[in-house]
Structure 1
């Protein structure tokens, strides 16, 4: 059992808040198009922060817990790449100006951290009270893996998002982004800008990703501190990673397949753990070291296979995958939606 002091928790959360604050201040103070060199520098910085934290954590608490952290971090980082696909679709759907994408991503990461902190606390409490939660989490991940594989060649329909549709019906939305403001006043009427709708879309997507990523990392470790830090450090680098790889995402054509395999593997690992604890302790468990090897190998194969595929077939394009099939509408273009609400 990992014993983390309140001081360590406070310092860790303080570090994450400081890093988030720097991102937010930079986005608000100097809206600009993030270029490749800047994105590269920030990506390297956040990876180094995560690695240095992992080294300190391993030295402080031992190799077993260190392995759990790095495995959890790799799982969350790989899932965050799929998150980036959806962010790209949202930015494209709502034609977000490049100078405002920096701020949108920072807010999105903050929302994701808050939601995941809530799910981590809830998940840890449920696991401590009911061991069958391992079975439920495992089944959830396997179901998610099957759905992701079935719809691996689809993009999620952002316009069909319930939160977005409700917001558009209830809130008056301007046609323009109005300098990156969320709320503005036009002709004496208070209105929200499309940027508010974008944040709502990203927030709802973050919620869906939290439902998958939290059970996945609990399949690696049941230590709340490791679950939280693996998620936090994976998300902190998401903004810079978006600007670094958004032009390369289309080439990862087999990413959804790889993520489906990883989720199914972790789901099976959770079910075996439940069976070992609740049914018969002779039922084998999957070691964390084996999990790390499997995840790294799957990601490596998926990446190489994707690059080979796109080299042979330049028309091949990656998709983030969807957890449900899209409704097919013939001869309609959502005419019930006000056409002047989207910039």
Structure 2
């Protein structure tokens, strides 16, 4: 939806677009973690927001500055459809994205709350297209919450694509006077595309503290991350595989291996499947395996219904959950989950 289009000079045209996603689902899990004692609280039926995609709304815009250069901005907020509150963000109103920048033949530079190159690499190579159920999303958030996803005080640069190569770098300043290291975060990625083949490698390093430590959802967990992933599209079939390492200071060293595929059966029907194996590098007796599959049926270009089935097995101290919303952490042994919902985009 374009809210406005104003031309004040030959090269000064601007536009602002309102966009969003509303997604809600019924979630069932055969086991549920009791956060009070860490034990199994039994099966659950619940209404959740963001069963497949986060519910959100945002504003984005651009102004033509001439010479191929544009000023750009984006403001984005997460919405909890079950309560009307904020969720799937750092807990602030525009806690998903809030940045302004410039883009042109030189590349793109942005300043403000934004995704890190590390997270963008994971999004590009996730076997189930970062569904909020049974994908790399609950694995990521259960490891480091939203650190690296919604980066406050961040400055980034993404190069133009040259001979298939594109690089990106980000530095998030901690904001604490006299202590440059508190809350400091940095990330970089390198992507290569050749026809239908893509490969992406990225890193992340962050410290705790800083002004962003006051966000309602933890966004400055001290950790280092590494990932490499690839995808290949052959007609209506897309295959993806990746490796991710989350190493948290003084705690776990989780190594995740994932793979899966997506197949467009018809223009309206899409199916996918993926599997992830997680092992704690500090103690390999702590490990889990998660597998999930889903079917999406598009009722129109904007509206779709979907069903997802997932399974997770946790061994040792591993607590992998099936759903970002409603079942982020799991219990020992086997758990089966189902999510069925509707998604509308505008």
Task: Place the TM-score, normalised by the shorter chain, in its bin.
Answer: under 0.3
Question: Could you state the TM-score of these two structures normalised by the residue count of structure 1?
Answer: 0.22
**Quick one: higher RCO (CA 8 Å, sep 6+), 1 or 2?**
1
TM-score, length-normalised on structure 2?
0.22
More strand by share: 2
